[in-house]
Amino acid sequence: MNSHEFTLILDRAPNDEEYDALFEAGCDDAVVEVRNGTTLLDFTRESPTLARALITAIEDAERAGFRVEGVQTDDLVSLRTIADRLGRSYESVRLLATARRGPGGFPSALSGDGWALYSWAQVADWSTRHLDAQPSVDAFEIEIAATNHLLRARNLLQGRDNRTEYPKVLNL
């Protein structure tokens, strides 16, 4: 059995009774933390795989009555952060992102309105294939980022129309 450390983001801070509910639902391997108004569940979970650890932790937290908003990750990054991580200049990365230089196909921004944010997992994969770069991204970071995106998508779909049943993401 492997030990996996990760942090879930909850919809609210628990009251005294809800702390007990979290423990009883199986989150006895997590510590509740409120940081800058955001409630976090810091897990150290024993499981054969990270995916299984994430799924069971999400199920346990939601069985206790919380909504899991996401998984804490450093996946969303700016062009400046990408430049730092790739050891390139900001201008070089900006030109790659706008297809004015390089092979094209740079991953699309996940946000807009002047502050473009990119998925580090996608950029790392692209830069490995097209720039012969060796960025520091591993399977753990990719699984965490993917789980975070799936949770956020599930929550958006569930919140759109209470009359419509949407398929569950991650079998949750």
pLDDT at position 135: 64
Residue 8 lies in a domain: yes
- Number of structural domains (the chain) is 2
Residue 104 lies in a domain: yes
Residue 46 lies in a domain: yes
Q: Are 42 and 30 in contact (CB under 8 A)?
A: yes
Residue ranges making up the domain that contains 121: 76-130
Between CA 63 and CA 65 the distance in angstroms is: 5
Residues 56 and 118 in one domain: no
What's the start-to-end Cα distance of the chain, in Å? Answer: 23
Q: Are 2 and 49 in contact (CB under 8 A)?
A: yes
pLDDT at position 74: 80
Residue 167 lies in a domain: no
Closest among 31, 50, 40, 44 to 13, alpha carbons compared: 40
Q: Could you tell me the CATH number of the domain that includes residue 33?
A: 3.30.70
pTM above 0.85, yes or no: no
Provide the 8-state DSSP code for 164. S
Cα dihedral 169, 109, 125, 148 sign: negative
Residue 87 lies in a domain: yes
b/e 80-116 (16+ beta carbons within 10 angstroms → b): ebbbebbebeeebbbebbeeeebeeebbeeeeeeeee
Residue 59 lies in a domain: yes
Q: Are 3 and 40 in contact (CB under 8 A)?
A: no
b/e 129-152 (16+ beta carbons within 10 angstroms → b): eeeeeebebeeebbbbbbbbbbbb
Q: What is the pLDDT along the chain (172 residues), one digit of tens a residue?
A: 899 999 999 999 999 899 999 999 999 999 999 999 999 999 999 999 999 999 999 999 999 999 999 999 888 899 999 999 899 999 999 999 999 999 999 999 988 777 789 988 889 889 988 887 776 667 788 888 889 889 989 988 886 555 444 445 454 4
| Number of residues written out for the chain | 172
